[in-house]
Amino acid sequence: MKNMEQIYIDNYEVVYKYLFANTHDSDIAEELAQETFYRAVKNINKFKGNSKISTWLCSIAKNLLLAEFKRKNRFDTLKENDLIVSDEVGFDNDEKILLFKEIQKLDNKTKDVMYLRLSGELTFKEIAEIMNKTENWVRVTYYRGKEKIKGGLKNEKS
């Protein structure tokens, strides 16, 4: 296994993007990302290697994020203009804003799937592991979310 410094270098951006996409606050995302890696260091012996290290780290980040939301009781305080999507998705900034406006209309579990797939660039299998769901559930949820977004974007452009 790689040393923790290399794991941090290789995975920090994915963990940070996931957290930022859900909090829209760079300070909170950075703090939670640091806590994610702190907990990973403390519990590296519990990593069994059944998934990619990035999947394991994102599941730690998700648990920290849920605890943060519960602590601050702020499930729906996301700002639409602070969202990020990988440039590889092929959207310009205006299209990204429209896309994320539509994602904000989705239920929380569908939002999580969409963010992990678009921002975290994770596979369906990895998302299933993070969310403790089946890969099929993730695929169906993503497909349905994508269809709702397409419908919303058509209405927005009309």
Residue 2 above 60 pLDDT? yes
Give the pLDDT confidence score for residue 88 in this predicted structure: 34
Give the pLDDT confidence score for residue 37 in this predicted structure: 92
- 135-144: per-residue pLDDT in tens? 889 888 988 8
Contact 28, 135 (CB under 8 A): no
- Mean pLDDT of the 20-39 span: 87
Q: What is the DSSP string of 28-75?
A: HHHHHHHHHHHHHHHTGGG--SSS-HHHHHHHHHHHHHHHHHHHHT-T
Angle among Cα 75, 114, 71 to the nearest 5 degrees reads: 20
| The residue type at 19 | L
CATH T-level fold of 4-157: Butyryl-CoA Dehydrogenase, subunit A; domain 3 (1.20.140)
Residue 30 above 50 pLDDT? yes
Give the pLDDT confidence score for residue 72 in this predicted structure: 66
Query: Closest Cα partner for 60 from 22, 80, 34?
Result: 34
- 33-79: per-residue pLDDT in tens? 999 999 998 888 888 888 888 888 988 998 888 887 776 654 333 33
Assigned token pair, 104: 């904000």
